[in-house]
Amino acid sequence: RILLLVNYDVDGVCACKILQTLFRCDNTLYTLVPVQGTQDLVESYFKHVEQIKIILMVNCGGNIDIVETLQPDEEIIFFIIDSHKPTDICNIYSSEQVRLLGKPDREEWIPEFSDIFYDEGNDRKTKRRKLDEGAIMKQRERRMWKENRNRLMFEYTQFSFYGRSSSMIIFDILWQLGKDSADALWWAIVGVTYQIVFGLIDEQRYSNELAVLQLHMSRLLTNEPGNENGIRNATPTLKITNNSLHLALYRHWTVQSSLRNSLCTAIKLRLWTMRGEKHLQQLLAEIGLPLSESKQRFCSMDISLRQDFLSMMEKAAENYEIDDLIYTSFTLSYGYRSSYQASDYVYGLLALMDVSSRNKQMGSCFSDALDSLARSKSDLLEVGIEGAKKILCCIFRHVQGLLDMKQIIATGPFLYFALQEGSLDVRMFAQAHFLTMLARCSLRAYHSVSRSKRSSCLPLVASAPAYPENDACIIIGIPPVSEVIPRKYVCA
């Protein structure tokens, strides 16, 4: 039996779903436990470790010294797949109990073993000798080695960032084993899309993954006769679209609502202001979309307007300099039913994982998110999409409140805001992914209205009360707007 510890995020859910197909093929027994944070990881390990010899960690455990933290028995082996970087140096060079799956990221610049770990045997021999010239030189070399080690470790650990999606790493393993499928490919796509939609990776890494995914699509598409439960559904059609829109859930929402609650348009048009509202009406008029149509669900709009909507928004992106409105993404369709962009799945999964609004335990929410990835559970995904609309509205309402009340404060080398206990919807922001979304939107919005030239270079620190713990809070750090490569992510 394998103990499967999975971090509570969208990439973790997608990676876990792919792993489940592999375990099902091989009739492998496993215990699945979702975790949040190091403390939860340690508690879950000691709760389930009895009679377990193999532990697989997904999106957790990579950036802490596993052997030092858990003090495991010698026969226990850890397999780690973690997109959180940098990887702990002891995990990298552990030759017995820790196995890292996937290739090292070039961006990590992992130090050489001899630069980090010193052979103490030479020192013992030197101490037995008299302090002759050779011994003094040895001590000098040792001191210089320590100084170099401290410098290398500082450079290696000073930034935290995200590497390759764990779901992509696991999909590659399935492909090498000859057990990949169109379903598994789609789940890997959702995991990668989660990273780009929330700014966890840069455009270059995303472009590299697109090239790999296109090659897999050409092999696997498309006629698979049913899903993992043996139920025949409409044949899925998976395609890549070079001109997708960075508009949240617009296929399942009204155009106006999507424009108001999408990061790129809300920030560029400053839609939390009266002037921004006028800009929105002007934009709709310029692209030729009637107000009455923009207030209907997208699927209920006139068919000619739906067909021309992409070209309309391309025109708007050019006129209003909305640089990040157009990007390359993937679309999944089932026959004549609704089409889903990969980002629709991302938002739907996030909403299903919201323990504050669903009045469920974390394990139940994680199971719902897993189930929603199945072809036969599209109704569960729709529940998530409806919940995601409420979450996005809540986030942008809080952004407007923070700006109106001037609660984003510049203090020295960073910006910060703190949500107070008793605030509206504050329990939702006790979850790291939602507080991160709020912080990211707030930082971009603050920069768009700030007169200070330094605002683009300042990171943001955000905090919210932690539930159900008393007298505790969750703290998130977001890198500056000017960062081309997203680094310095902090969560405590």
**Contact (Cβ atoms closer than 8 angstroms) between residue 36 and residue 432:** yes
Where b means 16+ CB within 10 Å and e means fewer, 356-374 reads bebebeeeebbbbbbebbb
Instruction: State residue 232's pLDDT score.
Output: 39
State the burial class of residue 36 (Cβ atoms within 10 Å of its Cβ: 0-12, 13-18, 19+). middle
What would you report as the CA-atom Rg of the chain, rounded to the nearest whole angstrom?
Answer: 25
Q: Which segment of 255-264, 303-312, 330-339 scores lowest on mean pLDDT? A: 330-339
Query: In the chain, what percentage of residues exceed pLDDT 70?
Result: 92
State the burial class of residue 329 (Cβ atoms within 10 Å of its Cβ: 0-12, 13-18, 19+). buried
91-106 mean pLDDT: 88
Q: List the one residue out of 311, 260, 299, 324 whose CA is nearest residue 481.
A: 324
What tokens appear for 271 in the block? 């839609």
Which residue in the block uniquely carries the two structure tokens 């209920």?
300
Sheet holding 473-478, edge to edge: 409-411, 414-418, 460-465, 473-478, 490-491
What tokens appear for 211 in the block? 């090239």
Angle at 395 between CA 313 and CA 404, to 5 degrees: 95
Where does the pLDDT of residue 422 fall: very low under 50, low under 70, confident under 90, or very high at 90 and above?
A: confident
Instruction: State residue 386's pLDDT score.
Output: 95
Q: Torsions phi, psi of 58, nearest 5?
A: -115, 120
Tell me, what DSSP letter sits at residue 373?
Answer: T
Give me the helices (H) in 325-454, please.
342-352, 355-358, 362-372, 378-404, 432-449
440-453 mean pLDDT: 92
Angle at 100 between CA 99 and CA 103, to 5 degrees: 140
Q: List the one residue out of 65, 64, 54, 58 whose CA is nearest residue 81.
A: 58
Q: Which residue has the higher pLDDT, 158 or 352?
A: 352
Classified as helix, coil or strand, 301 is: coil
Where does the pLDDT of residue 238 fall: very low under 50, low under 70, confident under 90, or very high at 90 and above?
A: confident
What whole-number distance in Å separates Cα of residue 143 and Cα of residue 374?
Answer: 58
What whole-number distance in Å separates Cα of residue 419 and Cα of residue 430?
Answer: 10
Instruction: State residue 338's pLDDT score.
Output: 72
Residues ≥6 apart with Cβ < 8 Å to 378: 334, 337, 372
pLDDT digits (tens, 9 = 90+) for 468-486: 777 889 999 999 998 877 7
Q: List the one residue out of 347, 172, 153 whose CA is nearest residue 248.
A: 347
Q: Torsions phi, psi of 361, nearest 5?
A: -75, 160
Instruction: State residue 64's pLDDT score.
Output: 94
**Contact (Cβ atoms closer than 8 angstroms) between residue 174 and residue 22:** yes
Question: For residue 475, what is the enclosing H or E element?
Answer: strand 473-478
Where does the pLDDT of residue 415 fall: very low under 50, low under 70, confident under 90, or very high at 90 and above?
A: very high
Q: What is the mean pLDDT of the chain?
A: 88
Amino acid at position 301, single letter? M
Instruction: State residue 228's pLDDT score.
Output: 45
pLDDT digits (tens, 9 = 90+) for 130-164: 556 677 788 888 889 899 999 999 989 888 889 99
pLDDT digits (tens, 9 = 90+) for 263-318: 999 999 999 999 999 999 999 999 999 999 999 999 899 999 999 999 999 999 99
Count CB-CB contacts under 10 A for residue 323. Answer: 10
* Confidence check: pLDDT of 23 > 60: yes
104-129 mean pLDDT: 71
What whole-number distance in Å separates Cα of residue 330 and Cα of residue 240?
Answer: 4
**Contact (Cβ atoms closer than 8 angstroms) between residue 364 and residue 11:** no
Q: Torsions phi, psi of 474, nearest 5?
A: -105, 135
Where does the pLDDT of residue 219 fall: very low under 50, low under 70, confident under 90, or very high at 90 and above?
A: confident
Instruction: State residue 283's pLDDT score.
Output: 94
* Confidence check: pLDDT of 337 > 70: no
Q: Where are the domains of the chain?
A: 113-157, 247-324, 406-491
Where does the pLDDT of residue 230 fall: very low under 50, low under 70, confident under 90, or very high at 90 and above?
A: very low
CA atoms within 13 A on the CB side of 491: 17
Q: Torsions phi, psi of 35, nearest 5?
A: -135, 155
* Confidence check: pLDDT of 451 > 80: yes
